[in-house]
Amino acid sequence: CFKVTDFNGPYNHTEWFPPGPVDCEFLEAACWKNGEEVYGYIHSQVLPKPVKKVKKSKNLMKNEEKPDVYVLLIDSLSRTGGKRKTDRKWHESKWRACQLDWTDKDYCESIWMSTRTYFGILWMAGIPVLHSEDWSSQTVNTHPTCKGFKNQYSDHSFYPFTRIYDYESLKITQKHLDGKEFCREPHMAAMEYLEQFAEAYEDRPKFVWQWFVHLAHNHLAGANRGDPAWEAFLRKNAEKLDKSFVILMADHGFRFGPSSYYKTDIGKLERINPMFYISVPKKYRNNGMLEVLQANSKRLQTHYDTRATLLDILKYQPSSDFTNRTFFQISNEKGQSLIRRQPRTPRNCETLPILESFCLCGRELRTPEKSSLGSVDFACTPGAGKVTLLDLHQSATSSNTATSVYHIAVQTTGPAHFQTLITENRTRNTLDFGPVERLDLFGKTNECSEKISWSRLCLCKNR
């Protein structure tokens, strides 16, 4: 039996004991035969916590009539990858889900204050919160390059399960989610815990942030194998979800294809164009919300707008019973709510906070006739391999004529394929380099090098 008594403390676990009732949320069960491990499995349950006493607010959700919010995120699933899922048509027809296109660039360099996140806002307001990811490195909380949260930020977390699975459990238990003996994978265990949470708090409004990391991350058609579980989940919980805000989304598109794939127009687009669907509660589908949402879906949106929409749902719309469509710029937010009318000003990569490398607008590219970049002698440190220029294009001139953006790709011995953006500012006479990305499939050929940001880029000579 595993328990986490301190948010930043160690995991406490009991000794092995016979089967029976337990008061922990995560339990490892195991069997031995002649001293050899023959069975291992991690079970979960959600033990509901008592209602918190909180200061009343006219804006925050007050009672069980307020809708639930489910954010269901599939890592690395592009827009077209999401469109082919078997549950899509049913999702659209059943809940009149609206599909949007997105772009995103995230970073995290400081400890997060839980009071500034959805988790903290709701948790402090007494709304049950579930944060669930099926990866022990945790994209939201403790991703390798992030410091994460300092204090408790949710009522329930799937993190103990993944931590036990990867580090604390028996070797045989660490095989029980490989899809073989039990036909069970990490996303199925996470779905099970999500359903347990929904049932435990059936009488209260709640917030779910569910991130499925493994399902589609490494394979272009990886999400296919999750179709049966997804469809079963959606159908089984149709009544609950019909009363809820449901966001089915991805963080970005597919990034693990061969470099030849990303040389194509569709490959370049797929990489930065994540899936996004949103459905609203049935009782709000005839109050103007759906019409505004559909109108906004025709325009370029960003994940900043996703955040603003969630804040609007959680903090500002409840006071009007979700009928307010008037534009409202939330203080200190870069995005604008999707369920309110947005200003009719242009929405493009120049007017929105979108990095050039994540722009979906399809600007015309041309090969520059005269550019100092085209004749660059790519200097190498002693012992490094030869560097070959593969591609050099310039974005079509923007409204800022003093600035040019160059898309550059190079190949080193190996080969290893890199690309980046270089912004030339002729007023300041400067060249600014964007993040360098490696596009080829490199497996373990980079393990000798140090991490740059969150990934190792270099190609090891001895591999």
Indicate whether 100 pLDDT > 90: no
Average pLDDT over residues 2-29: 88
Task: Give the residue with greater pLDDT, 1 vs 419.
Answer: 1
Task: Give the residue with greater pLDDT, 218 vs 118.
Answer: 218
Least confident of 232-236, 362-366, 379-383, 440-444: 379-383
CA dihedral (442, 443, 448, 452) in degrees, to 10, reads 60
Indicate whether 287 pLDDT > 50: yes
Average pLDDT over residues 247-257: 89
pLDDT at 171: 94
Q: What is the pTM of this model?
A: 0.83
pLDDT at 101: 45
Average pLDDT over residues 439-456: 70
Q: How confident is the model at residue 103 (pLDDT cuts 50, 70, 90)?
A: very low
**What are the boundaries of each domain within the chain?**
56-320, 365-438
Indicate whether 438 pLDDT > 60: yes
Helix axes 227-236, 186-200, angle to 10 degrees: 10
pLDDT in tens, 25-55: 999 999 999 999 999 999 999 999 988 776 6
Indicate whether 221 pLDDT > 70: yes
Q: How confident is the model at residue 449 (pLDDT cuts 50, 70, 90)?
A: confident
- Mean pLDDT in the chain? 81
Task: Give the residue with greater pLDDT, 85 vs 61.
Answer: 85
Q: Which CATH number fits domain 56-320: 1.10.1530.10, 2.40.50.140, 3.40.720.10, 3.40.50.620?
A: 3.40.720.10
pLDDT at 102: 37
Average pLDDT over residues 220-236: 87
Give yes or no for a contact between 238 and 94, defined as CB atoms under 8 angstroms apart.
Answer: yes
Task: Give the residue with greater pLDDT, 374 vs 316.
Answer: 316
pLDDT at 84: 67
pLDDT at 86: 45
